């Protein structure tokens, strides 16, 4: 059986990890898909790809975290995220189990009611997760942390005020690439886009959000208004990722959103000139 997938680095987690390390926390990222990409398990009519439950438990056991965060951006993986949450909470009942991601943001009223879920992070997680871990470390109350829904000791649910989207993306630190096994993503290059068949491809986030409100898309529900990083920061990301791994950077802004074309063209032009100068 041939499985065609395109694993890419979880940059959202890498951004959050960078924020946490900046605050002095010890962080480990486990990408169960890429780290167990060659492991297949038949489950009914489906095939499970990724680390086994035993492997996941071993990784948690070796790190012994106080907090475990699980990201789920897609409804398709809802059952997997819930099963993983239950598995970890049952094996490590004392950990604070946190769920986040696009799907979780939309379905938080249902997810927070699960007995093994302690906290849900809604929306962008960098500042929210940082404040959450700082509060947990200092044994401070969670009432004033924007963007979370959480349970008290009596299991009653508290929904805090929703956090506004991050206004200036340039204020975020660079993703914690050193916590990702980048060489594993590069090995999957044959499954990437046609222009990268002969080269590893690098991934980066140059903007968030959208100016429109399409009913079939969750972008505006999760990221709200369109925001872009400065050309200088994007160029720095290109240089950084080129140092981390020898990759082909293909900068491909999507022109689908007409309201963003002016920003994208200006940004692309500036980056293009900077790249020429850099080379």
Instruction: Read off the tokens for 216.
Output: 């079939």
Instruction: Read off the tokens for 12.
Output: 């959202």
Q: Is the pLDDT of residue 242 over 80?
A: no
Q: Is the pLDDT of residue 237 over 60?
A: yes
Q: Which long-range CB contacts under 8 A does 153-158 form with residues at least 24 apart? A: 155/115, 157/112, 157/113
In tens, the pLDDT along 205-216 reads 888 888 777 888
Rg of the chain in Å (alpha carbons): 20
What average pLDDT does this structure show over 51-74? 95
- Position 157 scores a pLDDT of 98
Measure the CA angle with vertex 41, ends 37 and 46; round to 5°. 105
Q: Can you say whether residue 248 is alpha, beta or left, with left for phi > 0 and alpha for psi between -120 and 50 degrees?
A: beta
What average pLDDT does this structure show over 11-30? 96
Angstrom distance (rounded) from CA 223 to CA 208: 6
Angstrom distance (rounded) from CA 129 to CA 88: 19
Q: When comparing pLDDT for 5 and 106, which is higher?
A: 106
**H or E segment to which residue 83 belongs:** helix 78-91
Out of 9-18, 197-206, 261-270, give the one with best mean pLDDT.
9-18
Report the chain's mean pLDDT, rounded to a whole number. 83
Instruction: Read off the tokens for 148.
Output: 């979370």
Q: When comparing pLDDT for 229 and 138, which is higher?
A: 138
Beta-bridge partner residues of 40: 49
Judge whether 48 and 77 are in contact, CB under 8 Å. no
How many whole angstroms from its chain centre is CA 117? 19
The DSSP string of 222-274 is HH-S-EE--HHHHHHHHHHHHHHS--B------TT-GGGHHHHHHHHHHHHHH
Q: Is the pLDDT of residue 257 over 60?
A: no
What average pLDDT does this structure show over 168-176? 94
Q: When comparing pLDDT for 136 and 269, which is higher?
A: 136
In tens, the pLDDT along 71-106 reads 999 898 899 999 999 999 999 999 999 999 999 999
Residue 33's φ and ψ, nearest 5 degrees, are -70, -55
The band of 196, judged by pLDDT with boundaries at 50, 70 and 90, is: low
The DSSP string of 140-158 is --STT-TTEEEE-TT--EE
Beta-bridge partner residues of 41: 48
- Position 2 scores a pLDDT of 52
Angstrom distance (rounded) from CA 37 to CA 189: 13
Q: When comparing pLDDT for 215 and 24, which is higher?
A: 24
Angstrom distance (rounded) from CA 81 to CA 100: 10
Q: Is the pLDDT of residue 186 over 90?
A: no
Judge whether 128 and 163 are in contact, CB under 8 Å. yes
- Position 188 scores a pLDDT of 62
- Position 246 scores a pLDDT of 52
- Position 240 scores a pLDDT of 76
DSSP-derived letter for residue 208 is E
């Amino acid at each position: 059986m041939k499985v065609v997938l395109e694993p890419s680095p979880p940059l959202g987690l890498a951004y959050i990890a960078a924020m946490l390390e900046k605050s002095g926390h010890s962080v480990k990222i486990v990408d169960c898909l890429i780290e167990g990409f060659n492991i297949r398990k038949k489950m009914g009519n489906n095939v499970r790809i990724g680390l086994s439950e035993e492997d996941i438990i071993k990784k948690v056991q070796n790190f012994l975290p106080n907090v475990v965060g699980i990201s789920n951006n897609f409804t398709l993986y809802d059952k997997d995220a819930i099963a993983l949450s239950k598995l970890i909470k049952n094996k490590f009942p004392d950990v604070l189990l946190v769920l986040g991601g696009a799907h979780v943001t939309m379905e938080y009223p249902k997810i927070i009611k699960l007995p093994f879920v302690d906290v849900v992070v809604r929306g962008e997680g960098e500042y929210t997760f940082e404040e959450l871990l700082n509060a947990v470390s200092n044994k401070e109350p969670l009432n004033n942390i924007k963007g979370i829904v959480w349970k008290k000791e009596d299991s009653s649910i508290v929904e805090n005020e929703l956090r506004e989207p991050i206004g200036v993306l340039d204020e975020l630190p660079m993703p914690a690439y050193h916590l990702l096994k980048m060489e594993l993503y590069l090995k999957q290059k044959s499954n990437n886009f046609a222009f990268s068949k002969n080269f590893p491809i690098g991934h980066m986030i140059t903007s968030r959000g959208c100016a429109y409100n399409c009913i079939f898309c969750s972008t505006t529900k999760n990221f709200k208004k369109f925001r872009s990083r400065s050309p200088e920061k994007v160029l720095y990301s290109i240089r950084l990722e080129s140092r981390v791994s020898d990759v082909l950077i293909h900068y491909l802004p999507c022109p689908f959103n007409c309201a963003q074309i002016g920003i994208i063209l200006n940004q692309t032009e500036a980056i293009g000139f900077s790249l020429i100068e850099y080379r």
